[in-house]
Every structure is written in C-alpha cells, then in structure tokens.
Structure 1
Amino acid sequence: MIELVIDQRRKDLGGFEVGRVLPYAKRRMVGPFVFFDHMGPVAFQAGFDRKVDVRPHPHIGLSTVTYLFDGEITHRDSVGAIQAIHPGEVNWMTAGRGITHSERFETLRAQGGKMHGIQAWVALPDGQEEIDPAFANHGPADLPTFETPDGKLWARLVAGKGWGAEAKVATRSPMFYCHWRLKAGGQGELPAEYPERAAYVAEGEVEVAGQTLRAGQMAVFAPGEPVLFTAATDAIVMLLGGEPVGPRFIEWNFVSSSKERIEQAKADWRAGRMKLPDADDQEFIPLPEPPPPASPMS
C-alpha cells in the first residue's frame, strides 16, 4: 500500500527553514504536484530582518499553491495582484507563459507571530503550459469542509475534487489537495479514485497499514485501494495527488515539458525581459550562476 516514504530535507532560506519534500530522487512528482515545501513552523519576533522576504522571481509552466496553518504572507505579482493570505485561504498563482512575484512578511514583521504553512507547485498539463498568467485568492467559503460525528476528523478540500466535494478553485487537470486535522484516535480514509496519491504529515503522528508516519514525512501510495489513517496523536495531514501530466523538466523556478523552453525562460530573466511586480522596487533574485541542469520529472 505504501510505495515510498519521503523524509523532508530542511533548508535555510535566509531567516527561516523549510522542509523540502518534492521533488525527490526516487519520486519526482505525485499527480501534477511537482514541488512541495513545508514552511516553518517558526515564531518570529517583531522587527525581524527583511532578508526573510522572498524577493521578486519568475515562474513558467506551473501554478503555485500557498496554504497557511498560521501567520500571514503578502503576495505581489506582475499581473498586478497584491494579496495577503491568511490561514484557511488559498493563493493560487498560474504562471503559464511567465509571471514574476514576491512574498513579503510585513504584518509578521510589524507584530511578530507564528508562520506555518505549505507551498506546492502544480505542473500545468500539455497544451496549457503557455496560458496567460493569472492570480486568485480563495477564502473559506470556496473550500468545502467536513467533520465526522465524533469530532475527531475535520477536513478542508483545498483544491480539486474528492470525497464527493469540489473546491471552487480553477485547476487545470484532475487533482485533489486536502487538509485534515485529526484528534488522537481519529480516523480518515483516502479514496482510491486517483491513480497517484500521497499524504504529508505536517504535525503529529498517524498510522497507516501498520506503519507510523511522523511529522515531516510524506507517504506515496500504490494505486487501486482506499487508504485508512488512524491518528496516533493529534495530527495535521495534507493529502495530494491526481492524474499524471507527463514528464516535466524543472530548473530553478521554471517547469516545462520542453528543456528548450526553460532555456528561453532563463535567457529572458537574465536579460530583464520579464516584468517585475509594480508594487515592488527593482530588487530581484538573479538567475543562479551557473544554474543547475534541468532534470526530467515524472
């Protein structure tokens, strides 16, 4: 039932740590999910350094999906969006043929507080990789929730379709993304309807098929059978997957089915041909030199 368990790899982003889960050498994608970072948890003191902010940088061929458990992040992008995201909301940014954005921690810098969340990338399917860039914020009213009669499982469908519900988020390929909050002893089931499925434990511990999954671990499941979870402690679990979109190359912040398209995006960024967000000053993250080789993902 469990094909693979992936342990997060902690990375310092210049002021706080993230746990990198996808891409992973033995499993580069799960459905359309090509990237998965666990941000924090971290408790910021008021007045922390601006180096924590993520300066403007580019993307192509993907959608970024930001979801918070705690804290606030302000998003700014080159299509003119300025949007603070709060817990229980989704920021869904579609890069398509090209977008730039920054992520700022202005409220936390002023007030201090905890920051904890997930940022994922979803690869756009063939024929839609070059669509126009766009941004949308979705509040709790757009994201269906469910609670078991015993109160031990609460769930929110963050994007896609699953469990007989559909989130009001414009996805581009068949997928699901769900947030579970479990109390010790609570149970939940992941249906078998999608061929590629995984679960990431953000807090606590859960038991699956006789195996304990701990915070910071992602389990990738074999297709064809429902998966039953039992919470060993209070836990937060993110469930994700969908239909595969085919092999993708990824290099730095660029995702594409074409290595040549990534080379073009690199050249465009290096030459300053990608518009920066109007709300930001002219700072930006330069292309890493020499950049890492593009790696195919499937």
Structure 2
Amino acid sequence: MSLLSAPVPLLRVYWIGLLVILHQLRHRLLPRCSPAPVFPTQNGKVAIVTGGAKGIGYQTVKHLARLGMHVIIVEFLYCDLASMKSIRQFVQRFRAKNCPLHVLVNNAGVMLVPERKTEDGFEEHFGLNYLGHFLLTNLLLDKLRQSGTHSHNARIITVSSATHYVGKLHLSDLQSRCSYSPHGAYAQSKLALVLFTYQLQHLLTANGSHVTANVVDPGVVNTELYKHVFWVVRVAKWMTAWLFFKTPEEGASTTIYAAVSPEMEGIGGCYLYNEERTKSADIAYDGELQRRLWRESCKMVGISDESSRVP
C-alpha cells in the first residue's frame, strides 16, 4: 500500500464522521417539536435481523418484538455472514420452519478491521458487510415475495452509513488488493450496500413484487464498532460520546421506522436518515454502476443473475 495514498480515505472517513457528529449535536440541542412515533402492532409478522445480539441490531430486535413481531436474530453463532456456506445453511434452517418472512434487516457489519479475508477469500469489509447480505437477501427473496401483499408489502432494510458519501467503488478491484486501506474498504462496502438497494428495488418493481427495499443511515452511534479506530479517537469517543454520539436506541430509530411505519408502506428505493428520506451520494444513482455491481456480485457468490431476466 502506498504511504501517500493511505491517508486519503482515512481523512475522508473522519471528515464525514465529523460532519455527522456536528449535525447530530445541533439536532440534539434543538427542542423536539413532535412526540416519538407510535407504530402499529405487528402481531403475526416475522422478521430476520442480522447482528441482532448487540448495538443497533439489538435495539431493533427489542422494539420489533415489543410490537408483537416474531424476530429471528442472525448472529455469528448461527449465521456467519463471512461464510457463504454458513449463510446457505441458515437459509435452509429458516425454510425448514415453514414460516413467512415480512421484514429482513441487513444490519450486521465490521468497521476498520485490519486487512484479512473471509472464509471464501473476500476482503472482510466487502465480504461480510456487503456480499454476505447480498447473498442472504437473494436467497430469501422468494419468502419475502410470498409474504408480501398489495396492502402490506414485505420490507428489506439495509443499514449503510454516511461514509458511503466518500466511498469509491472499484469494480476492477473490489477486494482492495492494489492498495488496502481499512477506511477505504469500509466506505466502499457501505456504498455497495446503497447501490445494491437501489438495483434491488428496480428489480422488485419490474417483477411486480410486493416487496420494498430501502437503505438507512443510523448516524454516528456509540457501539462497539469503534474498537479498531486510532487510540486517540477511542479516548475522545469515551470522553464525549454522551454528548456527540447517538445511543444504540437512537441509532436504531430509522431502521425501525423503515420496518414498520405506515408512511413507508409501498415505498422503496429510498435513503433514510433520521426517519426522513434524503439524498444519497450522486454516484449511488448511477444505474449502469448498479447493474454492473449486481452482475459481479452474482458471480462472486455463485447465484444466477436475476437482472438478466428483467425486460
């Protein structure tokens, strides 16, 4: 890795993080004009939440369960998203339950890990954060389609982050082999999730499926994901997180909104932040890039390319 090129993605990621933190502080200091939303009960509905054992995922699981939803937690003990074999085995076990699937929350992830590979030889950020969820979603699509109805669409919610705004997607080097930067690899995986969501919604609409796909930005949240940042940043986080960072419960609010809010019924292809639709990075709207990433992802995980069958 070039010593000159390494700081560039690092500075981009910390810069966007600083902007989000300042926005969160301003938002926190403003008086709340409206009460917290009250969502309808979800009795009889089934959800799968990856990374549901802690952090944002745990808060998402807890809130959905309180609404009456039956929630299946996907964590590394049961489904290792860094292993394509484990994902396929999990889907087989889920299918054996013979139950519907109304909500899929792609939440699990790693951040700024040192350079290493998944079981299948993929760079870990790209392999776990993105490819694992890409495969899981595709293998569960038929269940979601069967469960969705005209009046109550099944929903796919994928958790990205503001770092996607500074992400660079290199289709010729998705594994970051040429020059590895944990910051660049993390941002690339989060951009890939946004591109994936938009292309997925395009395919769902083209096929007339009663399923929607949206991507959410939780903000900068006080979770365990920061264990690989520089020690100076960890110390600063420890001292100031109470003021600048969202709590995991606050970070989960947009995911929950996307999963159960009546306002999002039948609405897909959105980037959501603070329970509002907002604009993602310009490059994320590049339809050709969405299609090329989708095709390449299908090859990498070994599934057929459904987009080739869409007129």
TM normalised by structure 2 equals 0.27
**Which has a greater percent of helix?**
2
**Which has a greater percent of strand?**
1
